[in-house]
Amino acid sequence: MENQGRVLMQRYELGKLLGQGTFAKVYHARNLKTNKSVAVKVINKEKVTQNGLIDQIKREISVMRLVKHPNVVQLYEVMASKTKIYFAMEYVKGGELFDKVAKGRLKENAARKYFQQLVAAVDFCHSRGVYHRDLKPENLLLDESGNLKVTDFGLSALADSKRQDGLLHTTCGTPAYVAPEVIHHKGYDGEKADIWSCGVILFVLLAGYLPFSDPNLMRMYRKISKADFKCPCWFPPEVKKLLSKILDPNPETRMTLAKIMENPWFQKGFKKIETYYVPRSILDDENVFKYTDSPKGSSTDLKALEERATAKNSSNLSTLKPTSMNAFDIISLSPGFDLSGLFENNVPSKKREARFTTKESASTIMSKLEELASTEQFQLVKTLDGTVRMQGCKEGRKGQLAINAEIFEVTPSFHMVEMKKVAGDTIEYENFFDQELKPSLKDIIWTWQGEQPTTSTSITDHSR
């Protein structure tokens, strides 16, 4: 209660302590401007640094800004002082799902509802390249309406954490909920490991106890490795069949989230939730460790940063400077010098990038891209490396479609543009490319890579 009534950063009034761990405490707080209840996580910066957890905190920030979903606890703001890091988050006052299960098993309809919301949230996280890796009832909160909210992304991983074998290698999670392949220390698919944990949670909700339990940890691991469990007699037959496919010790044959969501038992009363676009590159994760001696501390308000980033990007688009190309760059683009086959395995039949050449100026190319973006509901933003990103505002099968466009200057009167998909579903990208992108740009195109130019002029003539 030491913080009762304390005002934080002139923005939040801290209230009672909700919980605490080794490096952090969570308080109920009130937003002084909106009077809205929030939860404030207070992290001790010195302890985090001493224990080598800086990257974990940065990752948690990165993950929470990526996963804006009704069934995931929302991060509103990150702030920092000399000694502390503060997360202002959605306040979920219904408690942990664990507390509900601790009183006994749930009825089938209640268990199904929570499982549906869990799977929907996890599927959304995976579409954003986020793997939770510590799913359990203690990390599932309930709001005042009884809706589930996934929390605690401290052990989560991003898709770019994978090694060259395409797998994750950090062993983490809670033993009773962890997948067999995680225990074996041979690398694992984060998506399939999360699916296993979802299966264990479904069992716990309906049974009131764990499927794999033993006082001896090694014996419990052996049970997990063999998927040695029995469903109680009150489980519906369709649930037993579903669990046998989710709790499959072989990750290659384990049921996917897409198949789970198609399952008839799962589908009963299931309502697909519409999600919305939130820009990803708003919050600089380094800011929380670069405090300046301001009495008010430093604050990164997500909404304010989003507005500033959008305004800044809009003003910079017209002055975008093309990337210069040297002779080696031009030669390397020739099909005869394409060495990618020496380094890439399983190259898809249709590439995710395409190049075209044009005699138009960089400003004309930009105007055409802006025109296309406005008609197709894209947000056009300049990225840190000087490329232009067309960020879709519609939710697709795997999130919003995002396409990078980089303009290269071959000569002052001749440019090459490389278009590359960086996010979203590949099929949706290919449909957009063929049906919208190519037709919209036909007025400025000299030739697409792999196609014959409309005149007898060659690229070599322009580069002399």
Which range among 112-121, 299-308, 416-425 shows the weakest confidence by mean pLDDT? 299-308
| Residue 221: CA count within 13 A, CB half-sphere | 10
Which range among 232-246, 249-263, 404-418 shows the weakest confidence by mean pLDDT? 404-418
Round to whole Å and give the CA distance between 290 and 270: 45
- Positive or negative, the CA dihedral 328, 332, 335, 341 is positive
CATH code: domain 305-462 is 3.30.310.80
What percent of the chain lies above the pLDDT cut of 90?
A: 36
- Residue 297 pLDDT: 47
The residue ranges of every structural domain in the chain are 7-91, 97-267, 305-462
Which range among 42-46, 209-213, 448-452 shows the weakest confidence by mean pLDDT? 448-452
Which residues does the annotation mark as catalytic?
134
* pLDDT averaged over every residue in the chain: 78
Mean pLDDT of 274-300: 47
CATH code: domain 97-267 is 1.10.510.10
- Residue 268 pLDDT: 95
Mean pLDDT of 122-130: 90
- Residue 3 pLDDT: 55
CATH code: domain 7-91 is 3.30.200.20
- Residue 336 pLDDT: 43
Q: Is 204 helix (H, G, I), strand (E, B) or coil?
A: helix
**pTM of the predicted model as reported, rounded to 2 decimal places:** 0.63
- Residue 243 pLDDT: 97
- Residue 289 pLDDT: 56
- Residue 120 pLDDT: 95
Mean pLDDT of 70-76: 92
Residue 309 pLDDT more than 70? no
- Residue 315 pLDDT: 46
Q: Is 84 helix (H, G, I), strand (E, B) or coil?
A: strand
Single-letter amino acid, residue 108: E
| Helix runs in 208-301, H state only | 217-226, 237-246, 257-262, 264-267
Which range among 176-180, 235-239, 284-288 shows the weakest confidence by mean pLDDT? 284-288
Q: Is residue 360 very low, low, confident or very high in pLDDT (cuts 50, 70, 90)?
A: confident
